[in-house]
Structure 1
Amino acid sequence: MAKADFQQLNGIALAYLGDAVYEVYVREHLLDLGMSKPNRLQKKATSYVSAKAQAGLIKLMEDQDKLTDEEWEFFKRGRNANSYTHAKHTSVITYRISTGFEALMGYLKLSGQQERLNELCTWCIKQVDLGRIQYEQ
């Protein structure tokens, strides 16, 4: 199977993958905490993967100068992409920022930067666990 060229993919395609990649990290984390009831898992996962949580994580990354210039470029590719879907429970701006977050994760996965992906996903999960991110239920 041919590998997708992350340099050629648009921000929405990168976000499509990045959404799933980050979700797996979150699900594994919740299972590692001993959670097992589906309804509780889903509700708790929202605190990590909601558009508002992801936008909050990007803000924290910016405040802490966490991303490289190239990572910011891929975030912006996702944030600025024209999407035909729209925000359901959040503002358009928050939704676009969260799309950028997901595009960043997709870029890291497709570019083979597994160690950096692990580092950022672990950092993001820790920020949520420590209550540093405000999110919508």
Structure 2
Amino acid sequence: MAQESQNVPVTSLAMDLGDLLRPAYGADQCPETQLRSLSPLALAYVGDAVFELFVRSRLLWPPQQVRTFHRQVVSHVRAEQQAQYLECLQPHLSTAEKDILRRARNAASGRKVRSSLRDYRQATALEALLGYLYLTDAQRLIEVLSYLPITPDAMPAGASPPS
């Protein structure tokens, strides 16, 4: 069985992975009626995964111990840092995108969280925006993410340095 998987061309594996990461409707094809049926928290659920995958891929090089890699990723995806990233993005967002943020902030639950309620709501808003863009406009998603200063050598304030 392991023998068979070695004969699969790399290009075929890459195409399969691309299909896996592509939204169900493809970029720019999610019907508006379907989109409106999703709550801001459902968009945030998707956006959380999109953001974590983005951060992981940005920090993948140079190679390092998985423990160090994980610590760096966590420092970028925690609610306090996401709230700061949202502040960075504000000047670059359209009115419609800001409306998504507003809806998601208002929808964020009041449950107990480790961070402040304000940071948690801001983080939820960022994740909802990323989820929305993932489902509707992949190019815009890439553009928005490109404004974020996420690189292996740029650790967020308050993050513990790798050991």
**TM-score grouping bracket, smaller chain normalisation:** 0.7 to 0.9
Structure 1: which 5+ residue stretches go unaligned? none
Report the residue type matching 1:13 in the other structure. Answer: A
Structure 2: which 5+ residue stretches go unaligned? 1-23
Q: CA deviation at 1:70?
A: 0.8
Does the 8 A contact of 1:22 with 1:105 survive in 2? yes
Alignment partner of 1:70 is 2:96:
yes
Task: Give identity over the alignment, percent.
Answer: 32
Superposed, 1:59-98 pairs within 5 Å as 59-62=87-90, 65-83=91-109, 85-88=111-114, 90-98=115-123
Q: CA 1:129/1:98 → structure 2, altered by over 3 Å: closer, same or farther? A: farther
- Counterpart Cα distance in 1 of 2:138 and 2:158: 27
Alignment partner of 1:52 is 2:80:
yes
Q: CA deviation at 1:36?
A: 3.6
The normalised TM-score by structure 1 is: 0.82
Q: CA deviation at 1:34?
A: 1.7
Does the 8 A contact of 2:101 with 2:126 survive in 1? yes
- Counterpart Cα distance in 2 of 1:29 and 1:75: 24
Which residue in the other structure is 1:116 paired with?
140
Q: CA 1:77/1:106 → structure 2, altered by over 3 Å: closer, same or farther? A: same
- Counterpart Cα distance in 2 of 1:78 and 1:37: 36
Q: How big is the alpha-carbon RMSD for the aligned residues of Structure 1 and Structure 2?
A: 2.5
Does the 8 A contact of 2:47 with 2:129 survive in 1? yes
Which residue in the other structure is 1:39 paired with?
67
Displacement over 6 Å in runs of 4+ = none
- Selected match of 1:107 from 128, 132, 140: 132
**Higher CA-based Rg:** 2
Report the residue type matching 2:112 in the other structure. Answer: H
Paired residue total: 131
Which residue in the other structure is 2:6 paired with?
none
- Counterpart Cα distance in 2 of 1:130 and 1:81: 31
Question: Which digits, 9 at most, give the CA deviation of each residue in 1:10-48, with x for residues without a partner?
Answer: 1110000000001111111111x2234221111101222
- Counterpart Cα distance in 1 of 2:121 and 2:108: 9
Q: CA deviation at 1:105?
A: 0.3
